[in-house]
Amino acid sequence: MAKFIPLGDISSLLQRYASGEIAPTRLVEMIHAEIQNDPNHVWISVLPLESLRYYARQVEVKDMSSLPLYGIPFAIKDNIDLAELPTTAACPAYTYTPTHSAMVVQKLIKAGAIPIGKTNLDQFATGLNGTRSPYGVCRNAFNPDYISGGSSSGSAVAVAKGWVCFSLGTDTAGSGRVPAAFNNLIGYKPTKGWISTRGVVPACRSLDTVSIFAFTAADAARVLMISAGYDTEDIYSRQKEAYGFDFAAASHFRFAIPRKQHLQFFGNQESERLFTEAVRQLETLGGKAIEIDFEPFLEAARLLYEGPRVAERYAAIQSFYESQSDQIVAPVREIIAKAKCYSAADAYKGLYQLRSIKQHADEIWRDADCLVTPTAGTIYPIPAMLKEPIRLNTHLGYYTNFMNLLDYAAIAIPVGFQNDGLPFGITLAAPAHQDEPLLRLAHALQQAYCLPLGATGIAFPINNDFPELPDPNHVRIAVCGAHLSGLPLNEQLTCRQGRLVKSTTTSANYRLYALPGNPPQRPGLIRVDHHEQGVAIKVEVWELPTRELGSFVTGIPAPLSIGTLTLADGEMVKGFLCERYAIGNALDISHFGGWREYLQQIPAH
């Protein structure tokens, strides 16, 4: 059999399929052979070869265009159900064999993805380091002497090694982000409830989120489009809501970072250097760093393990704990045992405290579009973690434990390597439902860094296209006159929660006129025919909540109207156009190139 070539991103594998270089059946045969030797302790169970061939053949009889994940192999954390394979949650005594796959797994298989097997984890998804499993310590893809991160350890390493193109993890306190940072991957934690947790062994059911490991933010977005959706049988499922200002598409955005006294790297100067460089890189993309008080976030993080919230982990496996606690690994058992120290009254007090903390934490969103932190301040060798499993694990959760408690979405992004060759990553976070701007900003940052994929050595594909993620709750409006920033009618946009996305120009087939009439003087933008001479006209593109569009359009006087404009980059947006009859007595000001430039020249005429 030919030598296995580590896999890269989804687009690259689809291109190999389309060219006929390889077929899904041949690929799964090669993957199955490759992963039989697993010194990193990545896999708990793998589908039999005949089962993998069956999945591949089901894909091959269909047209590629009908399956967005045609033949794409993926891995599943072993607290997520896959029919035919046991679910262990990394506890052999807990094992059961599901008759149905988890809802998210069903959706991915229906889209053409092929499950390879179930991956190792910190037992019952309790831990951020990858050492708490009777199936062996899951080792880092770059240096096996170091931790892989957890609890979704195997899911991350399976992708980093190039055995699969993406994988599913879970993220309650950072389990879908810390392993990504330690293995040079994207680790995307969606808004809670966007992806159904039906068929997932709970850790803290009200906080659990199915997460996605991938080589690129674009791939994470592709998997999200297929896996997300409201599930009437999941009591924590949520409908998507409007994400507001698309800061990733804007020429300028604001990102919050912790004040220096709150930045913790636990003695790792390399992490500190790489974080500083990442902040500078975000500034080159148009970001402005704003230092914030990080204490409310740290206070929220402490609630997860240092208060009554830990009782939710006990509730998830109460009957098993009471009957077979001796089958639970010591650090996990020690954490869950704390639950018995708290009462129902303590739980309510904890909820009240969290509400108060969230009010303070959410104040940053008045000044910032997203939050930027290290994903983890440092990484540890395996012996050090085994020697101090609780204290060092707490260090790993310094920047992650608060996310789900505060109902934020987050994405971990690789941003470079320490001098010893180990990866480092940062995390972008924003309030719930702002996932899509986060993913797009992560994509832009990946393009800027152009790092290799995982531990495969494969170069990042510069031209990797980001999938279109339409937002039905917002509409973009191009303005060219008195609605521009700082001009008299701009308030009609800002009072409707409009946000400036970018300043650009139309394509070069428009003309601009100054219409006669009382102040404020209005522009008339006309699209010309192919036989007429046109120019590119400066415009601003604003984003407006769809619910506000009706009242905005109602106030537009004739001869102006809202039509479709083509921008210089080919994007088509709604915008102001003028009926052609009105330009007969109007002044052609196209040669100025824009309304502001015309206004600046008025005193000279």
| Residues designated catalytic | 77, 151, 175
DSSP 3-state of 77: strand
The structure's pTM equals 0.81
What tokens were used for 515? 């219409």
Q: What are the start-end ranges of the H helices in 44-138?
A: 49-60, 103-110
pLDDT at 604: 47
- Beta bridge partners of residue 500, listed in sequence order: 542
Give the separation between CA 155 and CA 74, rounded to whole angstroms.
9
Contact of 181 with 222, CB cutoff 8 Å: no
pLDDT digits (tens, 9 = 90+) for 67-101: 999 999 999 999 999 999 999 999 999 999 999 99
- Residue 470: per-residue pLDDT: 55
What confidence tens digit (pLDDT) does each residue in 473-502 have?
Answer: 778 899 999 999 999 999 999 999 898 988
* Residue of 141, 169, 179 lying closest to 456 (CA atoms): 141
> What is the 3-state secondary structure of 529-562?
CCCCCCECCEEEEEEEEHHHHHHHHHCCCCCEEE
Distance CA 412, CA 397 (A): 13
Per-residue pLDDT tens over the stretch 144-198: 999 999 999 999 999 999 999 999 999 999 999 999 999 999 999 999 999 999 9
Give the C-alpha distances (Å, rounded to integers) separating 569 from 104, 505, 550, 566, 572. 36, 9, 27, 8, 9
Percent pLDDT > 70 in the chain is 98
What value, to the nearest 5°, has the Cα angle with vertex 248 and ends 244 and 254? Answer: 85
Overall size of the chain counted in residues: 605
pLDDT in tens, 254-303: 999 999 999 999 999 999 999 999 999 999 999 999 999 999 999 999 99
